[in-house]
Amino acid sequence: MGGTRTIRTDVRFVAATNRDLKAMVEENKFRDDLYFRLHVFPVKVPPLRERREDIPLLTRYFVQKHAHRMGRTIDTIPKSALDALTRYDWPGNIRELQNVIERSVILTGGTTLHVAMPEVTQGSASDDAQRRSSDPSSSVEREMILKALAEAKGMVGGPNGAAARLGLNRTTLQSRMRRYNIARQFQ
């Protein structure tokens, strides 16, 4: 229901993009008035591959965050793992790093992090599917999902569902089920 009084507010907008908005304005692909409204205090954050010194700190943070959420204790990150993470170019930026660390925490059995590194090589979608199916960590993850689904009697979401048992969001688990071609056949 609308009102007749003016309600004053004090709001700040934060907008982020990986596009060059100034170039888009010059090409008439982005409204210049909107650009100047958003461009009051620009903050440029370089991609992760240009600030590799942040990777060990971010890795420790994500390990702590995901291990805590999943009720696990991971107190050691091997130097070789940190070196491999630092050498990788991270085309998916920080989100990709966070996903790799979350997956690694899920797959780690003890207190020392086992890093499931992304494939650096490029290939077609069928090559990617072939790599995934032959990757031992993928088969371990698939088996963990199948076990959790069996224990949850096929229920994906909810407090007693497979996603909660794995420490994942329901949508994340559903995405991984699609990736591994897992159907809910446990009901």
* Cα distances (Å, whole numbers) of residue 145 to 70, 132, 178: 15, 15, 11
Based on C-alpha coordinates, what's the Rg of the chain?
Answer: 22
Residue with tokens 């461009």: 39
Residue positions counted in the chain: 187
Residue with tokens 């992090």: 113
pLDDT value of position 5 = 92
Delimit the domains of the chain by residue range: 16-45, 48-118, 123-187
Q: What are the two backbone dihedrals, phi and then psi, of residue 27, each rounded to the nearest 5 degrees?
A: -90, 10
pLDDT value of position 172 = 85
pLDDT value of position 125 = 40
pLDDT-derived band of residue 44, with 50, 70 and 90 as boundaries? Answer: confident
120-141: pLDDT as tens digits: 323 334 444 444 444 555 677 7
Note if the pTM is more than 0.95: no
- In the chain, the percentage of residues whose pLDDT exceeds 70 is 86
Quote the mean pLDDT of the chain. 83
- Residue 97: pLDDT over 80: yes
CATH of domain 48-118: 1.10.8.60
Instruction: Return d(Cα 91, Cα 112) in angstroms, integer.
Output: 26
CA 1, distance to chain mean position in Å, is 39
